[in-house]
Amino acid sequence: MNVAYFIARHIAPGRTETHARPVIRIAIISIALGLALMIASVAIVIGFKQSISNKVVGFSAPLQVVAFTRNESLEESPLTVGTKFLKELRHNPEITHIQYTAQKGGVLKTSDQIQGIILKGVGANYDWHFLKQNLTAGHLPDLKTPRASRQILISKKLASRLRLQPGDAVRIWFIGKDATAALGRKLIISGIYNTGIEEFDNRFLIGDLRQIQQLNGWKPDQVGSVELEVRDFKKLKSIARNIYNSIPYNLNINTIYDNYPEIFNWLNLLNTNVVVILVLLILVAGVTMISTLFILIIERTSMVGILKTLGAGNRIIQKIFLYKAAYIIGIGMLLGNFLGLLFYYIQLHFHLFHLNPASYYVSYVPVKLSLFHFLLLNAGTFVLCLLILIIPSFYIMRIQPARALRYE
């Protein structure tokens, strides 16, 4: 029979304590609020990072094979899509989709305004899933025409700024291949998209890859980049290394991290913020439990003296109070889990808390919580709180039975 557990169970909170009752309630509330805030913080950070990453990856694929060049302008160097090159990529089990793109800078001119833009040309095999989800008006461009399609997508921000809508014709001017003459193209807006990410919405139009091939004087098998979608995004860097070792010497491969470092560096900073929050919340809960344990020991000084007189060792008495502390922590964690999961459910389904999309790229606070992170938070909170309480439990060793029995 576990004597320490038996005694601790019979002095459970609320049965015999008088002065310790309000302190125990405060400890339970502190742990509950701390755990609820930790669940909310982790869910928000994971949800926020996943939401922004999905938008960036949806607009620009995780990997891009490009021509090896020192050119840092918007004018891309052509990449010839050869049969052997494609065969190697298609036989790579980590790659799920291959698509061809190219981009070219230009100037969009309306009757009263001028706007610098980047026309991103896409091939017939382009994955439209992301843009289809973010389409706010009109329809996707039809790229199955015999000739280069004149239909384009424009962002909601640019359409509002230039007072354009689906069906409107716009003229865009580009620099020709010899960099001496301007080439104009009259294109028609088929639809309006809105990603919420200014890096895309302020610059990009989406159109037919063949338009850019004609503007640059490229052959039909020449493209600006080959975009690759991968099976496991977590292995992106290792996949990129393996592909780089297999492609010809005149080609290079860029990851989404290379193309948009400012966005992903900002997202990585959120990890530091959430670690600081978790540490502070655990410290607050730990300090509260230390105070609670000291009060419990002081109030039970007479009991400690009697147990020592009967031959109980310091370790058994320590276990009694640690069992009691574990009970308090457990009650607080149950309440904290309820509050944290309640917030998670409400925000996930009803989007109660909103954000300014101009600053945060999303219109509401996104949340995402896996079972692994939920269990890790609970286990970590419980273990750390108990470990913190081991040190103050050594105060029991200083209690002398003769003085303890006279303690009032």
Q: How many CA atoms lie within 13 A of 195 on its CB side?
A: 26
| Beta strands 204-208 and 225-230, pairing class | unpaired
Same domain, 180 and 282: no
Same domain, 91 and 229: yes
What is the pLDDT at residue 179?
A: 62
CA-nearest of 261, 330, 300, 310 to 395 is 300
For the cut 90, the answer to whether the pLDDT of residue 368 exceeds it is: yes
pLDDT of residue 175: 81
pTM: 0.85
Domain holding 275, by residue range, is 3-55+264-404
pLDDT given for residue 21 in this prediction? 79
Domain count for the chain: 2
Beta-bridge mates of residue 188: 151, 169
At residue 406, does pLDDT exceed 90?
no
* Same structural domain, 154 and 270: no
Shared domain check, 108 and 234: yes
In this structure, the answer to whether residues 155 and 227 fall within a common structural domain is yes
Pairing of strands 169-175, 182-193: antiparallel
More confidently predicted of 295 and 254: 254
Same domain, 81 and 200: yes
Taking only the tens place, the pLDDT of each residue in 130-171 is: 999 999 999 999 999 999 999 999 999 999 999 999 999 999
Q: How high is the mean pLDDT of the chain?
A: 87
Q: Which of 256, 273, 297 is the last residue in one of the domains?
A: 256
**Lowest pLDDT segment from 26-35, 43-52, 288-297:** 288-297
Residues 237 and 306 reside in one and the same domain: no
Residues 252 and 370 in one domain: no
- Condensed to tens digits (0 to 9), the pLDDT of residues 243-263 reads 998 888 889 999 999 999 999
Q: Flag the least confident range among 57-66, 125-134, 289-298.
A: 289-298
Same domain, residue pair 315 and 214: no
For 301-327, what is each residue's pLDDT tens digit? 777 777 777 777 778 878 888 888 888
Amino acid of residue 407: Y
pLDDT at 11: 67
Q: What is the mean pLDDT of residues 2-15?
A: 66
Radius of gyration, CA atoms only, the chain: 32
State the average pLDDT over residues 378-395. Answer: 87
Residue-level pLDDT at 77: 85
Please say whether the beta carbons of 13 and 293 come within 8 A: no
Contacts of 77 (CB under 8 A, 6+ apart): 66, 67, 69, 71
405: pLDDT strictly greater than 70:
no
Pair (324, 345) in one structural domain: yes
Single residue among 205, 227, 256 that ends a domain in this structure: 256
CB burial of residue 387 (10 Å; 0-12, 13-18, 19+)? exposed
- What's the pLDDT band for 18 if we cut at 50, 70, 90? low
Quick one: pLDDT at residue 239?
95
CB 102 within 8 A of CB 213: yes
What are residue 311's phi and psi, to 5 degrees? 105, 5
Least confident of 124-138, 167-181, 293-307, 342-356: 293-307
Residue-level pLDDT at 290:
86
Single residue among 206, 223, 256 that ends a domain in this structure? 256
Residue 50, CA distances (Å) to 5, 46, 58, 161, 233 in order:
44, 6, 12, 29, 11
